[in-house]
Copies of this chain bind each other. A is one copy, B any other.
Amino acid sequence: MKGFFQLISSGQFLDLFSPFLPLADIALPLAECLGRVPVNDDLRAPEDLPPFSRSTMDGFAVRARDTFGCSESEPALLDIIGEIAMGRPGNELSLRPGTCAHIWTGGELPARADGVVMVEYTHLLDERTVEIFRPVAPGENVIRAGEDFSSGNPIMPARRMLRPQDLGVLAGLGITELKVYKRPRVGIISTGDELVEPDQPLASGKIRDINSTTLAALVTEAGAVPTCYGIFPDNLEMMLAACEQALNQNDILLLSGGSSVGRRDFTLQVLERIEGSELLAHGVAIRPGKPTLLARRGNQAIFGLPGHVASAMVVFYLFVRPLLRLFMGLDADHGLREIQARCAEQIPSAIGREEYVRVRLENQPDQPLPLATPVYGKSGLLRPLVEADGLLVIGRDVEGQDRGSEAQVLCFPEQ
């Protein structure tokens, strides 16, 4: 299987993930669940939130009908029968017609109260009597028991990473431990006789390993756990042993090395010889990223990434990240924010492959869409990546983007 790649489309590549399953789950305290995905697709409120009818204002809890028709010139006069102190049960007091009770924001309504008059619309005549200047409707300035989340009702959409407000709701409902999907573990192996570790001195003809550091950070950014196994020479037996070891400890293995045909064929041989593995993909019709390999061993995936880090990064965002997200219980998509932008210049592309062009985004005054300016550079260069904010997508059947045209941009994640 040497020589030319058998290219598939990016959509076909993603379809290859269908046999993979989410990872096992783990029970975590709520405080550790930010960004995690609950295993239970259908979390339901175990109790009402709020647990009782609460005032949303400082003022007087009333029977609404006692305020009907009152005004500045003809205030309603109500007897004050007491105060509901914060945290006290509302049923310590019960309103008869013509009576009311002091209440604070968040306090439980006394029995038979059905509305709250804001303190601004009242005037205390004496300790026991208050004038009411504005009528309230039943339910006004009140949050009913269960109005936010009613016992038995769904809490949030399924299959999403928990956000701060989601954790707040769960805390409010008394859910303080949650079963979530485990974080995927990702092993990273660099190959190449020309590579040295970043902290080592450079001999002539050698270059520091950039890919391990970059890929490990991309894994962390995606919410998974990277382990770097270091640099291996172009030796099949040593590589196979390293892969076997890494596969014993990880859910995904990323092999990254040079971009040469020779290196690619070497990686292919490695993938084909890993015990129990099946080669799923051998090239994808995108640029950069064409020489991407994918193999599967049970529920584990092994990616052969292009050697140029700029290409490897595109492949990571387009394919590795979706599989990580699938493993974490999410849909198998890249999860990057997609926006529309206006092309600052003409961007040529070739029919028959998708292009992912690194672009800088700038908001324009009085323009709804940001301007996307390509950051060109040879594929081996890193500087364009450091300057770019995202990837502009040019479809497979499009010859390019005109200057001023709208295009889709996948934004790099915010840090």
The answer for the CA separation of A106 and B206 in the assembled complex, in Å, is 9
- Set of chain B residues within 8 Å of A30, measured between Cβ atoms: 198, 213
Please choose the segment from A7-15, A157-165, A241-249, A270-278 that sits at the chain B interface, where 4 or more of its residues have CB less than 8 A away.
A157-165
Per-position contact with B for A189-200: 1 when CB-CB < 8 Å, else 0? Answer: 000111100110
Q: Does A372 contact B (CB under 8 A)?
A: no
- 13 contacts across the A-B interface (CB closer than 8 A): A31-B216, A54-B380, A58-B261, A89-B203, A90-B205, A105-B307, A147-B378, A149-B382, A163-B415, A167-B213, A171-B214, A176-B199, A335-B414
Q: Does A122 contact B (CB under 8 A)?
A: no
Given A86-B258, A262-B104, check contact A210 B171 (CB 8 Å): yes
Given A35-B415, A261-B58, check contact A208 B119 (CB 8 Å): no
Flag if B368 contacts A207 (CB, 8 Å): no
Q: Does A6 contact B (CB under 8 A)?
A: no
Q: Does A61 contact B (CB under 8 A)?
A: no
Copies of this protein in the complex = 2
A263 to chain B, nearest CB (A): 7
Given A30-B198, A143-B380, A148-B382, check contact A168 B108 (CB 8 Å): no
With CB as the reference atom, state the residue of chain B lying closest to A259: B105
Q: Does A383 contact B (CB under 8 A)?
A: yes
Q: Does A406 contact B (CB under 8 A)?
A: yes
Q: Does A80 contact B (CB under 8 A)?
A: no
- Set of chain B residues within 8 Å of A218, measured between Cβ atoms: 164
Q: Select one of B104, B205, B413 contacting A414, CB under 8 A.
A: B413
Per-position contact with B for A79-121: 1 when CB-CB < 8 Å, else 0? Answer: 0000011111111000000000000111110000000000100
Given A210-B169, A261-B58, check contact A192 B368 (CB 8 Å): no
Q: Does A211 contact B (CB under 8 A)?
A: yes
Q: Does A300 contact B (CB under 8 A)?
A: no
A267 to chain B, nearest CB (A): 13
Q: Select one of B143, B168, B192, B209 contacting A171, CB under 8 A.
A: B209
Flag if A195 contacts B87 (CB, 8 Å): yes
Flag if A31 contacts B161 (CB, 8 Å): no
Q: Which of A162, A170, A383, A413 has its CB near the most chain B CB atoms (within 10 A)?
A: A383
The answer for the CA separation of A202 and B172 in the assembled complex, in Å, is 11
Q: Does A346 contact B (CB under 8 A)?
A: no
Q: Does A379 contact B (CB under 8 A)?
A: yes
Taking CB atoms and an 8 Å cut-off, the chain A residues in 302-316 that contact chain B are 307, 309, 313
